[in-house]
């Protein structure tokens, strides 16, 4: 049954509607970021406790990364057919259910069940990824970068609060037969449920369906065909700018995840303690999220290609600093901060360019393809990163991360040259 549609808003109603939709997305983004950060803070520790060995604790992060990769395409299909609201609600409910399975796995001491729960829990972050595109649905073309970046920025609040809430969350389950390290997942489930209810009640009218209504009438058969995943792939193949956007998002994310995931190991090899490692990662997270509004403003003012070029530069310098830091902890911290900034520049500009470059009917499918690509690539990158560091060291990992940027840089230069030629 097709989703119920409301009349398209009048032009005079659009500014207020944009502000309301963005406010709901920001609030849900804060909750979603909080839910993920609460659980992730102790996921590896919980995995070690249940499995009985540190060797398997790393599978916790792999499982949480696998969640959004597995959900990306089904979520895109749901959104393409039914709109943003059902998709976001489904993703948050998946996260809540996954968190519940994690708690059950911890209680009955089942490591396979724990991993299955972590996959579902990680799927909750799919809602936070999809929210950035929901923010762009009704944004004016010259303000899409800022709309996307504002929603990305909101994740900062939850990401910072989450680890600090993990301890009281663990204490709160004392006496219920639940391990303290599973307590954060009890709270995460509650937070995800609140986010799901908020989106279900308040994200109205649906931003994607409203954007389609504003775009004008389209033949029903043509619209349905355009929203299929195959049509999304065709749309990417047909647009060089869409291909650049897809590569930008995937490469930026993979480079960041690969280097960041092994930085604590490199720091510990050079004598850094847990507190120092935590400070370096906190600075990295600040670089990822806190400055995203700046990247959005630059993307709108200077153009998407300029900010993609900035992302290449920042990520390259980050790899150089981190890869040559050795025992210099301040240099590693600077490299990780720039790594976060480069990721932010790539994600915001790439997401905005992707939305600009494909037809309205195919956008949800293309955006789902983008999230699937970036999460799958990052999952592979994280696994390979561990092997590279074990066999050849952290310096080579950073060199390989910089090499990943070459196709992204080449496509950006090619796009800039083509744009200059068209204007001439």
pLDDT tens digits for range 249-295: 999 999 998 898 788 888 888 888 767 877 887 788 889 988 999 99
Instruction: State pLDDT tens for residues 137-153.
Output: 999 989 999 999 999 89
> pLDDT, tens digit, for every residue of 332-373?
999 999 999 999 999 999 999 999 999 888 888 898 889 889
CA-atom Rg of the chain in angstroms: 21
Average pLDDT over residues 96-114: 95
User: Dihedral through CA 221, CA 360, CA 245, CA 128, nearest 10?
Assistant: -100
Q: 168-176 long-range contacts, Cβ below 8 Å, gap at least 24?
A: 169/38, 170/42
Count of other CB atoms within 10 angstroms of residue 109: 13
pTM score, two decimals? Answer: 0.84
- Is the pLDDT at 160 greater than 80, yes or no? no
**At a CB cut-off of 8 Å and minimum separation 6, what does 238 contact?**
none
């Amino acid at each position: 049954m097709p989703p119920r549609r409301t009349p398209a808003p009048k032009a005079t109603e659009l500014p207020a509607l944009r502000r309301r939709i963005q406010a709901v997305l920001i609030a849900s983004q804060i909750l979603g970021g909080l839910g993920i950060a609460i659980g992730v803070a102790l996921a590896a520790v919980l995995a070690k406790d249940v499995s009985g060995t540190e060797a398997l604790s790393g599978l916790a992060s792999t499982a949480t990364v696998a969640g959004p990769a597995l959900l990306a395409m089904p979520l895109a299909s749901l959104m393409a057919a039914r709109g943003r609201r059902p998709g976001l609600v489904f993703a948050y409910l998946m996260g809540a259910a996954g968190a519940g399975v994690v708690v059950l796995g911890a209680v009955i001491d089942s490591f396979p069940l724990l991993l299955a729960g972590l996959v579902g829990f990680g799927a909750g972050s799919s809602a936070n990824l999809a929210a950035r595109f929901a923010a762009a649905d009704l944004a004016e073309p010259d303000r899409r970068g800022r709309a996307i970046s504002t929603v990305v920025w909101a994740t900062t609040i939850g990401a910072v609060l989450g680890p600090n809430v993990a301890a009281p969350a663990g204490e709160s389950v004392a006496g219920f037969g639940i391990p303290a390290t599973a307590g954060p997942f009890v709270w995460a489930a509650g937070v995800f449920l609140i986010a799901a209810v908020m989106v279900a009640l308040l994200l109205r009218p649906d931003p994607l369906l409203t954007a389609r209504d504003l775009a004008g009438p389209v033949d029903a058969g043509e619209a349905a065909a355009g929203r299929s995943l195959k049509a999304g792939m065709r749309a990417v193949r047909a647009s060089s700018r869409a291909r650049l956007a897809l590569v930008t998002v995937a490469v930026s994310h993979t480079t960041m995840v690969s280097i960041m995931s092994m930085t604590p190991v490199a720091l510990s090899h050079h004598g850094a303690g847990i507190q120092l490692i935590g400070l370096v990662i906190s600075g990295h997270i600040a670089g990822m999220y806190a400055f995203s509004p700046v990247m959005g403003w630059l993307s709108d003012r200077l153009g998407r290609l300029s900010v993609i070029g900035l992302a290449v530069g920042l990520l390259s310098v980050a790899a150089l600093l981190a890869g040559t830091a050795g025992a210099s902890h301040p240099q590693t911290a600077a490299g990780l901060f720039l790594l976060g900034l480069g990721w932010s520049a790539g994600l915001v500009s790439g997401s905005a360019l992707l939305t600009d470059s494909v037809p309205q009917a195919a956008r949800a499918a293309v955006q789902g393809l983008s999230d699937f690509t970036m999460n799958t690539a990052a999952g592979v990158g994280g696994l390979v990163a561990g092997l590279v560091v074990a066999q050849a060291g952290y310096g080579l990992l950073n060199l390989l991360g910089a090499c990943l940027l070459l196709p992204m840089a080449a496509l950006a230069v090619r796009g800039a040259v083509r744009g200059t030629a068209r204007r001439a």
